[in-house]
Copies of this chain bind each other. A is one copy, B any other.
Amino acid sequence: MSHSKTVAVIGTGVIGNGWIGRFLAQGLDVIAFDPAEGAEKHTRKVIKQIWPSLEGLGMAEDASQDRLTFVSTLKEAVQSSDFIQENVPEREDIKKTVLTSIDQYAKPEAIIGSSTSGITATTLQQDLQHPGRVIVAHPFNPVYILPLVELVGGEATDGTTMEKAKKFYQSIEMKPLVINKEIEGHVADRLMEALWREALHLVNDGIVTTEEVDAAIIYGAGLRWAQMGPFLTFHLAGGEQGMRHMLEQFGPALKKPWTKLEAPELTDELKEKVIEGCEIHAGDVPISELEDKRNEFLVRLLDLVEDYWPNSKIS
């Protein structure tokens, strides 16, 4: 799929707007639709705000905020688009209704990617006329900076759809991870949720504050994980024997009592502890300012890390 094609973005919340930013920066034409009042105004404001980050990442020569068009019906958005990214609220009934409309009006050869974090492609494509062109294409916030996108086909997805989708996301500077089995929460969110559950336990049990959990990640594993994941990190920590040595040494720890923890009950008390912890940590700095700082950091980090990422078939 070449850059001269048109992409439709259905639903312009945080994720939809993130996609719009990425698509525009890559020099694509974007047609957006969202029935919410003031949606266009809000999106244009967001895109203007993140444009410096997008410039920092490196833009296509012909990239322009003017290549974004808002339309007033879903039909207008999808009927002439080659690629459709769906980002409506994470509820099965809403997603299925919207996808039925997209399926009705889109060109048969158009590909439909859903940003869902928790619903399978098999569920989403049920009852559609052309289910073979539907996949899950799950991105990560901020979508206009982070390169990961999880691609998962459903039972009815065509092999060619997945191939085309993979090439498309690669062409817009992403790292598509094709997952061949459908699983609740896909892969990356399951990994993050596992860490998050343990973090909630540590806060709930009064061991550390939310800020201290963050520090325990940032100043240690977090620095490594921007370049190497948990497996290769352990492989390096095992000396000449690599992972073989690590599994001998740390395997037994998997039998310890704390490896059997269920998620803690999200009581009002725990909620307040977590919310207050974050608010204290953020201090008087508005979230938008923290976002700008995060974006500036991520743009510089991406510039640095690209020379150091391992050669990988996920590329």
| Partner among B208, B263, B309 whose Cβ is within 8 Å of the Cβ of A255 | B263
Q: Taking the complex as formed, is A287 at the interface, i.e. its CB lies under 8 A from any CB of chain B?
A: yes
Contact of A192 among B221, B251, B277, B290 (CB under 8 A): B221
Cβ of A184 under 8 Å from chain B: yes
Chain A positions 238 through 258: 1 when the CB is less than 8 Å from some CB of chain B, otherwise 0: 011011100100010111111
Determine the residue in chain B with the shortest Cβ distance to A257: B184
A52 at interface by CB-CB < 8 Å: no
18 contacts across the A-B interface (CB closer than 8 A): A140-B221, A148-B220, A183-B207, A188-B220, A188-B221, A211-B312, A214-B228, A214-B310, A218-B225, A218-B226, A218-B227, A222-B226, A223-B298, A223-B301, A235-B279, A297-B304, A297-B307, A304-B304
Cβ-defined contact, A211 with B236, below 8 A: no
**Chain B residue with Cβ nearest A208:** B187
Question: Cα distance A293–B185 when bound, in Å?
Answer: 33
Q: Give the size of the chain A interface in residues (CB under 8 angstroms).
A: 110
CA distance A192 to B237 in the complex (A): 14
**Cβ-based interface call for A177 (8 A):** yes
List B contacts of A255 (CB < 8 A): 263
The 8 nearest A-B residue pairs measured at CB = A214-B229, A222-B225, A148-B220, A194-B198, A148-B219, A215-B314, A297-B308, A210-B231
Query: Which residues in chain A, 167-186, are within 8 Å of chain B measured between CB atoms?
Result: 175, 177, 179-181, 183-185
Q: Are B291 and A236 in contact (CB under 8 A)?
A: yes
Interchain CA distance A293-B196 in the complex, whole Å: 30
| Residue in contact with A274 in the complex, picked from B237, B240, B247, B293, CB distance below 8 Å | B247
**A5 at interface by CB-CB < 8 Å:** no
Oligomer copy total: 2
Complex-state Cα separation, A256 to B266, whole angstroms: 13
B287 near A240 (CB under 8 angstroms)?
yes
Question: Is A164 in contact with chain B by the CB < 8 A criterion?
Answer: no
Tell me if A's interface is mostly helix, strand, loop or mixed. Answer: helix
Pick the residue among B206, B226, B266, B310 that contacts A225 (CB under 8 A).
B226
B263 touches A216 (CB 8 A): no
Chain A, range 111-149, C-beta contacts under 8 Å to B? 118, 140-141, 146-148
A1 contacts the other chain (CB 8 A) = no
Q: Are A146 and B278 in contact (CB under 8 A)?
A: no
Supposing A146-B224, A255-B263 touch, asked if A231 and B215 sit within 8 A by C-beta, the answer is no
* A196: chain B residues within 8 A (beta carbon): 230, 234
Task: Tell me the smallest distance from the CB of A304 to a CB of chain B, in Å.
Answer: 6
Contact A219 B263 (CB under 8 A): no
Contacts A146-B223, A177-B215, A217-B191; A251 near B266 (Cβ below 8 A): yes
B236 near A217 (CB under 8 angstroms)? Answer: no
A45: Cβ under 8 A from any B Cβ: no
A60 at the interface (CB under 8 A from B): no
Q: Which residues of B contact A262 (CB under 8 A)?
A: 259-260
Which residues from chain B contact A36 at a C-beta distance below 8 Å?
none
- Determine if A71 is an interface residue (Cβ-Cβ < 8 Å): no
